[in-house]
Amino acid sequence: MRVAYFVQTHRQPEQALRLLTRLREGSQDAALVVGHCPTAPPLDAERLAALDVLHFRHARQGQRGYWSLLEPYFTAAELLAERGEEYDWLVYLSGADYPLQPLAKTEAELATSECDGYLTYFPIDQPFEDGRRKQGKVRYGYEYVDWPRSPRLLRVLRKLNGVQTWFQVHLTYGPRFGRRRREVPALRGRTVYRGSQWTTLRRAAVEKVLTAYRGEPELVRYFEGTVCPDEAFVQTVLLGGERGGESGLRLCNDHRRCVAPIVGKTGHPSVWRLADGPALVASGCHFGRKVDPEVDAALLDYLDERLSVPA
């Protein structure tokens, strides 16, 4: 069995290289891919070559709440295919993730798993983690366009969000103006699901997502007009069904990440600290996020010591 790890980064080149080094030390045979933001300082090409890492720059700067945040995943999967890289699982990581247990243990679990994917998923009519009940419909029930030239007008219109359903103003990821959709033919009967962007998928599941990405441009355009498509496209393709059909995949509603508490309404998790180290290691999760050496580098040193212990 072979695992591919894709690391998507937008800052802190040294931290990205530290993560890639840890992945390579933990899995000598793994396929490693890194996609780096085009506006960030470059990664050291010699160190990437020494680690045998495939690498590319994102086509455009990722913007929170937009399709551009998910684009690198497809680029990475296509690059693996073009290079003829064989793999059984594709693990999708950010540069702020870090292993919580030796990769040998994680890969042993994947090798014997009866699941085809580990990801989080919820129907969009289910309340969000912060209690908001209408956020799913707000994000995926409207067709949004950027509207940067009239901030004052948008702030006025935003006051009407709760008293009518014809339009929505979204300022958290924007400014954007959305018109309500009565139906979405591009979904082809699928139910929209949402969840975390970060997934661990068996290759059959990756190929199913790629098939939709390559072969259903109208579906891609629909998600491009939503808010946070990176948290719904993969879930909808794998779980939403198509004309009432089932995917045939066995999916576990657990992405095997230990995520720090979310801060505010932007969806950003807080940062783990050294004091959280024992609980992270004891969690049994494969990866933790977010870690940040600029906030608490001692946590990474603590995890490295534990990761050096044989599984």
- Sequential pLDDT tens for the chain (311 residues): 999 999 999 989 999 999 999 999 999 999 999 999 999 999 999 999 999 999 999 999 999 999 999 999 999 999 999 999 999 999 999 999 999 999 999 999 999 999 999 999 999 988 877 667 788 999 999 999 999 888 889 989 999 998 999 999 999 888 999 999 999 999 999 999 999 999 999 999 999 999 999 999 999 999 999 999 999 999 999 998 865 455 689 999 999 999 998 776 656 789 999 999 999 999 999 999 999 999 999 999 999 998 875 54
The pTM of the full predicted model, rounded to 2 decimals, is 0.94
What is the domain partition of the chain in residue ranges? Answer: 3-123+187-307, 142-180
Q: Which residues make Cβ contacts (< 8 Å) with residue 309, sequence separation at least 6? A: 102
CB of 241 closer than 8 Å to CB of 78: no
Q: Judging by DSSP bridges, how do beta strands 89-94 and 3-9 pair with one another?
A: parallel
**Token pair for 162:** 């709760």
Which are the contacts of 141, defined by CB distance < 8 A and separation ≥ 6?
Answer: 124, 180, 181
Shortest CA distance to 139 belongs to which of 129, 125, 120, 151?
125
Architecture of domain 3-123+187-307: Alpha-Beta Complex (3.90)
Q: Which residue has the tokens 């059959």?
A: 204
Is there a contact between 167 and 177 (Cβ–Cβ < 8 Å)? yes
